[in-house]
């Protein structure tokens, strides 16, 4: 496998991690996951904008190449070189360069991009548990992945122990926030709901697009704070992330609906985007 390290194409085994690396020492950076299908990056403009927003939140100076029009083509070329087609998962990691202790010496950024072949998203319904070991917490950094990664690691351990497909994360007040690597939506009384960003959930790329699609279709959508009980009364509950949209069949041992027209419509909408 090859990777892009600070815009240089190198074999994966030549990537060195120095002890003073601030991503290693302090988790001082962020990462973004992108999907490539049939030679195109889904929602590229949305990803690039979220990179800008994450960098502003961390006071990072992004390298020019990350914002250049040709960067998308460089990622697609990387996927091709790694035979990652027709479907690839590209992961971009960005961190503050330099050494220093908690106080950085500089604010310029370094980065690395990897591209690996992946399988289509499973379509079987999810069975999820409710995570009790950790909670989400709203902060200026909670809308993107990176600084809060340990939260999802610990939730992943709970998922493994409980033998669930995923875990529902709650905020400090017991409100529904998100899953380990997905946002969550539910449809009830002709209103589409999703947790507010103030619950500490990630502002996922697919989340943003589902909200946009719903508005374009004339649906009422509410970003809200709600307890898990609302999921049990909903007409449909589903998870979204950059890989796709997947219905949730059960929370703990309580069974939910397996299908709903709105989920089918959103999945069809995603197919048209994937092949754009």
Q: Could you tell me if 190 and 84 lie in one domain?
A: no
Given a cut of 80, is residue 31 above it in pLDDT?
Answer: yes
Q: Could you report the per-residue pLDDT of 34-56, keeping only the tens digit for each?
A: 999 989 999 999 999 999 999 99
Q: Could you report the per-residue pLDDT of 77-97, keeping only the tens digit for each?
A: 999 999 998 899 999 999 999
Q: Could you tell me if 247 and 143 lie in one domain?
A: yes
**Whole-structure pTM over 0.85, yes or no?**
yes
Q: Which of 117, 143, 175 is the last residue of a domain?
A: 117
Predicted local distance difference test score (pLDDT) of residue 274: 53
Q: Which of 87, 117, 147 is the last residue of a domain?
A: 117
Q: Could you tell me if 166 and 91 lie in one domain?
A: no
Number of domains in the chain: 2
Q: Could you report the per-residue pLDDT of 170-214, keeping only the tens digit for each?
A: 999 999 999 999 999 999 999 999 999 999 999 999 999 999 999
Predicted local distance difference test score (pLDDT) of residue 85: 84
The two tokens of residue 189 are: 């009384």
Q: For the domain that residue 238 is a member of, what is the CATH number?
A: 3.20.10.10
Q: For the domain that residue 84 is a member of, what is the CATH number?
A: 3.30.470.10
Q: Could you tell me if 135 and 171 lie in one domain?
A: yes
Predicted local distance difference test score (pLDDT) of residue 276: 44
Q: Phi/psi of residue 153, each to 5°? A: -65, -50
Of 246 and 123, the structure prediction assigns the larger pLDDT to: 246
Q: Which of 117, 136, 171 is the last residue of a domain?
A: 117
Range of the domain at 75: 2-117
């Amino acid at each position: 496998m090859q990777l892009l390290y600070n815009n240089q194409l190198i074999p994966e085994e030549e990537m060195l991690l120095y002890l003073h690396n601030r991503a290693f020492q302090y988790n001082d950076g962020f990462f973004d996951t992108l999907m490539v299908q049939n030679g195109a990056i889904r929602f590229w403009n949305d990803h690039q904008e979220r990179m800008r927003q994450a960098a502003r939140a961390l006071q990072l100076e992004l390298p020019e190449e990350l914002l250049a029009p040709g960067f998308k083509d460089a990622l697609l070329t990387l996927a091709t070189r790694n035979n990652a087609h027709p479907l690839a998962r590209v992961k971009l990691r960005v961190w503050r360069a330099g050494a220093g202790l908690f106080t950085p010496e500089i604010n310029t950024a370094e980065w690395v991009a990897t591209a690996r072949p992946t399988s289509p998203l499973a379509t079987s319904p999810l069975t999820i548990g409710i995570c009790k070991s950790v909670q989400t917490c709203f902060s200026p950094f909670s809308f993107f992945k990176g600084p809060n990664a340990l939260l999802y690691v610990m939730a992943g351990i709970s998922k493994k122990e409980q033998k669930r497909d995923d875990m529902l994360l709650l905020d400090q007040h017991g409100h529904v926030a998100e899953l380990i690597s997905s946002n969550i939506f539910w449809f009830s009384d002709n209103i589409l709901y999703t947790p507010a960003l103030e619950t500490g959930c990630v502002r996922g790329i697919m989340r943003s697009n589902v909200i946009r699609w719903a508005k374009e279709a004339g649906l009422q959508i509410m970003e809200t704070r709600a307890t898990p009980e609302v999921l049990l009364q909903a007409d449909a509950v589903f998870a979204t992330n950059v890989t796709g949209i997947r219905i949730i069949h059960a929370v703990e041992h309580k069974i939910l609906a397996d299908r709903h027209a709105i989920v089918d419509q959103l999945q069809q909408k995603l197919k048209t985007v994937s092949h754009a």
